């Protein structure tokens, strides 16, 4: 599993999609090589994107934490400050 953390300008509403695609492209060759070397293994990349004004897309953030088996805690905005 690869975990990618990216900061982004969050002036544009679509910052999550743009940075997600950028991270996937950035690691595409590495994941491809790992899959070729170990075809029986499963590889997954999880991208966490945070805006430079500390904004996050909460639903995306919590979905990705669940993939890492992180238990849910208090979902107040103060708990999202990085």
Nearest alpha carbon to residue 19 among 48, 61, 62:
48
Residue ranges of the domains in the chain? Answer: 2-74
Average pLDDT over residues 13-18: 78
pLDDT for 10 beyond 70: no
pLDDT of residue 11: 67
Taking only the tens place, the pLDDT of each residue in 21-44 is: 988 899 899 999 999 999 999 988
Residues 43, 17, 82, 72, CA torsion sign: negative
Q: How much is the pTM? A: 0.60
How far, rounded to the nearest angstrom, does the alpha carbon of residue 20 sit from its chain's CA centroid? 7
Compute the CA torsion angle 16, 17, 22, 24 (nearest 10 deg).
Answer: 100
């Amino acid at each position: 599993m690869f975990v990618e953390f990216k900061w982004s300008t969050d002036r544009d509403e679509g910052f999550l999609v743009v940075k997600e695609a950028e991270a996937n492209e950035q690691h595409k060759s590495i994941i491809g090589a790992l899959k070729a070397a170990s075809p029986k293994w499963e590889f997954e990349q999880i991208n966490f994107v945070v805006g430079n004004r500390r904004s996050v897309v909460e639903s995306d953030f919590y979905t990705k934490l669940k993939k890492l088996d992180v238990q849910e805690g208090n979902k107040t905005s103060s708990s999202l400050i990085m």
